[in-house]
Amino acid sequence: MTTTWQEGLRQQQPQLADEHATVSDIAAELNSSGLPTAPHIVARLFHELDGDRAAVHEVAAALTAAQRSGQRMLPTLLPLVPSVEALSVGIDPGDEDRLTLLTAALSIDDDLEPLLIAASRSAEDLLRPGIAEHLRASNGRFALTRRRTAIWLQHAATPQETACAHRKLERAHRVRGDEAIAAWHAARGAVERRPEIASPLTNAAGELRDRGETDRAFAFAIEASEHAAPLWREHAHLIAGTTAASAGCFDDANDLLADLASSSNHAVRAGSLTALLIAQTCGRGTIPTLDTEARPPRAGDPRLWRAWARTTGLAAVLCAERGATSAMRSWLAEAREADTTAGAGGEVRDPAVALCWMLTGEADADPIEASGTFSGALLDALRSAMDGDVVEGRQGLARSALSVPEDDPLIPGFERSPLTGAYLAVTEALLRFWSGDIEDARACLAAAALRLPVGIPFAGLGAVLARRIDIAIDGASGPVARAISATLPDGIRIDTLVDSGLSAYLLGESEQAATDIALWRDRGAPEPPLALAGLEEVGPFVDRERVEPPDASAARSLLQRIRGLTESSWRHEHREIAEAGRTLTSSFERGRVEALLGSTSLVHGDLPGGRRHLRAARRLFEDAGAHAWKDAMDARIAGVRTTQDAMSDPMTDPIAVIRDDDALAAGRAAWETLLTQRELEVAMRVAAGSENREIATALDVSVRTVEVHVRHLFDKLGARNRVELAVMAHRAGRVF
């Protein structure tokens, strides 16, 4: 049995790219129609409805907003919509064939033998005209020619026909010894409660959940609860609720688990707490607070204390994801005590502690090991990246994908769930982004988005990452990224100001970019727990620790250093910074350094040097697949060429001194990528010798406003006074 994440990795093939393109189009259409739908839900509907786009639109409109966003499970039977109902036109199989097709539609197993037993048919009967065009059978398996036919058949059948078909399937599966499947059909075909089938259904649901078959596990558990006596009903709700949480369906999980947290059954209560905390934190944004009333009795069963250790450990990780370090420390203290009381020997505690230190960027003197399928793979990959070996981190994830999944002490039973698969997939895409492989990162995240709730991990990191990748490649967030963002649970909020600032910056709209980044800083500069490249080229720096690989930290430091250079320090430090930039292994990060060196060279009057850096940046961005950044470099290079051609006398040598009366025009061209429009106007007037009062009168602003602009000019351009700024403006008009 493979994990959902592994399945996604193995299916990154050409047909997946075609499916992604179609799903992207449908997601964009649904969003524009006021029906935002998560990409993995769109892909699921697309598959279940045979790729019928009209049917996908109609079914999405019939679903609730929570179902479209993935916060609730899709119904076992999708609604009957006009596009599906139209399938009945021209279909007139005889009653016997129609009942055979209904039996096939109701079966949850594609084994041919039980179908033949239930329908009292032979394999040769299925080859006759009429039924053969709707049902395929080969190698002991069967499938309806069109999945949509199953929806129509079930809606068109009478309750008596449906119950009869289920009872026949029950008997057929009992003959073969398939007790779990027989119990399912017994429950669906029952006309009254049958408490005796609740136990096998609940047990089967737990096994299905552990195998990662969340849809079937949820359906089995809900069906079991309908027939169960009170004791088994709690167990069934526990399986259904934890399954819903593991799939990211937090509304369902909250509904099913809320009452179980106060159950008198200690095992049920302990089993519900972890999933309930995840659902309430991710779904509603409720940062978990320590409730000692939920603790097991101090003399209780060690198994209950182990469950409590898992609950407290994961609560600490959820707090770390959201930057709630004080609450995180309280939960970690409780996790340590619970692990000790349970005699777990750190097996549960250690991965939780290590993940918390990783997500908060706090140094751990003695690195803690974690061997779990999920926690171990995640920690090893991130640690490799933090140690400067992003490639090793990616290779480690790839190796873990090929290994046989084993129990993870931190999340037993959830190793194959969609939610853990989403965490691993987002981590894989993040490592690709960090290493500068922007297009590879998008392909990885796109493949995962069709199958997993990728917006949930790390407090919305997947949504932010999807947007940043799209902006780097296309200059704006795409339909899948927008759909992920629009369908995030209420408990996950992301800030899009950096994204809008980046888009504006790449379009050459420096003033809008600076405004967006300033507003972002005023809001507290919110970021995901694992840092992504922002827009250090514009606006104020946010000086704080970030969880990122050394390449990203070094690039950010170089960008800050470039922006802080003065006129006097430029020539000496320029070469040193350029040399340091060449040590960066990420093409994308090095490209950003080269790009700012290019723009700053123009400010300091070095047009050939500026053009050289911009050309280097262009090539690096092209290598990284960051095409929007490459296009921005093309625009800047063209601007330099245009300015130089306009200033040069075609009858003189190409490196001749430029005419003095054109100097300020050249300065304006050199500075326009670094300054806002109003700052540029002030700078030109300062360079021309105007005093602050004269500038205020000309621009119809206060003298105080001009003084603020001038101070910003000195900071951005590295000038110490008005004279130095004027010299810089005139020097930009000369080619060296």
Burial (CB count within 10 angstroms: exposed 0-12, middle 13-18, buried 19+), residue 399: exposed
Which DSSP helix (H) or strand (E) runs through 144?
strand 141-144
Residue 29 has pLDDT above 70, yes or no: yes
Other C-beta atoms closer than 10 Å to the C-beta of 122 total 9
Give me the amino acid identity at 655: I
Token pair of 693 as six digits: 């009062």
Full-model pTM:
0.86
Percent over 90 (pLDDT), the chain? 59
Total residues found in the chain within this entry? 736
Count Cα atoms within 13 angstroms, Cβ side, for 446.
Answer: 25
The reported pLDDT for the residue numbered 10 is 45
Give the model confidence (pLDDT) of 586-632 as tens digits.
Answer: 999 999 999 999 998 888 878 888 989 999 999 999 999 999 999 99
481 Cβ neighbours under 8 A, 6+ residues apart? 463, 466, 467, 469, 470
SS3 content of the chain, % helix, strand, coil (to 5): 65, 0, 30
Residue 83 vs residues 54, 59, 105: alpha-carbon distances, Å: 7, 9, 18
pLDDT of residue 420: 93
User: Per-residue pLDDT tens for 445-455?
Assistant: 999 999 999 99
For residue 136, give the 3-state DSSP assignment.
strand
Tokens for 554, please give them. 């070094």
How many angstroms separate the CA atoms of 679 and 241, rounded? 57
Residue 131 to residue 147: CA distance in whole angstroms: 15
pLDDT at residue 702, as a whole number: 86
Residue 727 has pLDDT above 80, yes or no: no
How confident is the model at residue 684, as a pLDDT?
A: 84
Q: Which of 52-56, 248-252, 334-338, 399-403 has the lowest mean pLDDT?
A: 399-403
Half-sphere exposure of 272 (CA within 13 A, CB side): 25
Rg (CA), the chain: 31
For residue 143, the cross-strand partners are 136
Which of 144-158, 567-581, 705-719 tops mean pLDDT? 144-158
The pLDDT value given to residue 650: 44
Tell me the mean pLDDT in the region 504-520: 89
Q: 456: which DSSP letter?
A: S
Here the tokens at position 229 are: 């006596």
Paired with 137 in beta bridges are 142
**What confidence tier does 732 reach under pLDDT thresholds 50, 70, 90?**
low
Mean pLDDT lowest for which of 6-15, 400-409, 528-537? Answer: 6-15
pLDDT tens-digit readout, 685-695: 888 888 888 88
Residue 667: predicted pLDDT: 67
pLDDT above 90 for 704: no
Q: CA–CA separation, 489 vs 280, rounded Å?
A: 10
732 CB contacts (<8 Å, ≥6 apart)? 602, 603, 604, 605, 607, 663, 666, 667, 669, 670, 671
Side-chain half-sphere of 245: how many Cα atoms within 13 Å?
A: 27
Confidence class of residue 717 from pLDDT cuts 50, 70 and 90?
confident
Give the lowest-confidence range in 6-10, 420-424, 620-624, 680-684.
6-10
Cα 43 to chain centroid distance, Å, stands at 16
Amino acid at 39: P
Listed range (555-564, 570-579, 661-670) with the worst mean pLDDT: 661-670
Q: Is 431 exposed, middle or buried (0-12, 13-18, 19+ CB in 10 A)?
A: buried
**Residue 288: how many CB atoms within 10 A of its CB?**
24
Give dist(CA 415, CA 397) in Å, integer.
14
Which stretch of 162-176, 372-386, 419-433, 667-681 has the lowest confidence by average pLDDT? 667-681
Chain-centroid distance, C-alpha 473: 17
pLDDT at 365 over 70: no
354-371: buried (b, 16+ CB within 10 Å) or exposed (e) per residue? bbbbbbbbeeeeeeeebe
Note whether 287 and 316 are within 8 A (CB): no
Alpha carbon distances (Å) from 137 to 47, 49, 113, 142, 433: 20, 20, 11, 4, 45
The pLDDT of residue 289 is 83
Q: pLDDT grade, residue 402 (50/70/90)?
A: low
Query: Residue 293: its pLDDT value, please?
Result: 75
Q: Residue 448's CB: how many other CB atoms inside 10 A?
A: 27
pLDDT value of position 117: 94
Q: Is 138 helix (H, G, I), strand (E, B) or coil?
A: strand
- Strand (E) or helix (H) holding 142: strand 141-144
Q: What is the pLDDT of residues 225-248, one digit of tens each?
A: 999 988 889 999 999 999 999 999
CB-neighbour burial class of residue 723 (10 A; exposed 0-12, middle 13-18, buried 19+): exposed
- Over residues 358-374, mean pLDDT: 75
How many CA atoms lie less than 13 Å away from 89 in the CB half-sphere? Answer: 5
Looking at the predicted structure, is the pLDDT value of residue 458 above 80? yes
Q: Could you tell me which residues are beta bridge partners of residue 144?
A: 135
* Residue 91: predicted pLDDT: 64
For residue 714, pLDDT beyond 90: no
Q: How many CB atoms lie within 10 A of CB 642?
A: 11
